[in-house]
Amino acid sequence: MQEIDAGKMAHNGKVLTGRYNATPTYGFDNEQNYCLNSQQLPSPMPPPPYALARVSSTRNFEHENHTPPACPGSGPIAMTNGTIQLRLRDGVRIDMTLDKAVRVLNQRSMVAVALSRNCSNSALIHPNGRILQSSAKVELVTYDGMKGNNFVRYAKMWYKGVSFTSEACALIYLVDTAGTRTTTDTFTDLTKDYTLAVFYDDSRHGPSYMAEAHDVIANSAYTCTEDGTEIYDINGFRITQAADGLVLVWTTSA
């Protein structure tokens, strides 16, 4: 884990600022296996609590469903897959690629959101549903995360109109300018963790980018304001976490 460089800190009693050093903490064990303290990929989110029997797999993204759990800690880390991981308080983790794809994960509430590097694709995982947006098409599935009912609902907004159905319904309906009618449309299988697919899609990542990720961390800055808000300026992003845990991410460069 990257440590804050104490030699570059300035402390006036109210505001704490600093930069992160770029000393690599990665390595191999005696059997040439990756050490888990800084080598793991982002962890996939679990599937929803209900079996989504109606969905059909129509996407071809690659999925990383074999990764070890995240290690505890804080601050930015250069991963061996060439990405940057920022660990915040309250189980919040932010993954970034060098070309600014971003994935935010709350490990306690099981919420994840990802945005591709060119902002054309996005995905959301929430205890009450999942959303996958690809250009002009948006697909979603909703369910009761508290298991108060067994209704699973599907919808797709695309160039044809809006398609929708539910787990208990035998038909799929399409609403367009001509009205409402049945259709043979299908829905993407959202039981997979599409936040990972969106995050990695068309982004620069891999061991060859690891040194560049360390350079980004070395040029990042950290500030803690007197009201307890932590601010990270890293990789063209400004990331803040307030004292109450609220996390905001926005870009500071084109």
Q: Give the pLDDT confidence of 39-56 residue by residue, as tens digits.
A: 445 667 766 654 344 444
What was the pLDDT predicted at 202? 86
Where is pLDDT greater, at 22 or 79?
Answer: 79
Is 1 within the bounds of a domain?
A: no
What does the chain come to in residues? 254
4: pLDDT strictly greater than 50: no
31 pLDDT band (50/70/90 cuts)?
A: very low
pLDDT tens digits for 115-143? 999 889 999 999 889 999 998 999 999 98
Structural contact between residues 195 and 114, judged by C-beta atoms closer than 8 angstroms: yes
If you average pLDDT over every residue of the chain, what do you get?
75
pTM above 0.85, yes or no: no
Which of 136, 138, 117 has the alpha carbon at shortest distance from 197? 117
User: Is residue 71 a part of any domain in this protein?
Assistant: yes
Kind and range of the H or E run holding 7: none
Alpha helix locations (H) across 55-193?
none
The whole domain housing 170 covers 6-251
Which residue would you say has higher pLDDT here, 233 or 42? Answer: 233
Amino acid 43: pLDDT: 64
Is 39 among the domain residues?
yes
Task: Report if residue 37 sits inside a domain.
Answer: yes
Which residues does 148 contact at the CB level (< 8 Å), separation at least 6? none
pLDDT tens, position by position, 70-117: 433 468 989 988 999 999 988 899 999 999 999 999 988 889 999 999
pLDDT category at 24 given cuts 50, 70, 90 is very low
**Residue 42 belongs to a domain:** yes
pLDDT for res 11: 36
Write down the pLDDT at residue 118: 87
Once rounded to an integer, what is the mean pLDDT over residues 222-251? Answer: 90
Helix (H) or strand (E) holding 212: helix 210-218
Over range 139-165, report the average pLDDT: 85
- Count of domains forming the chain: 1
20 confidence band (pLDDT: 50, 70, 90):
very low
* 178 found inside a domain: yes
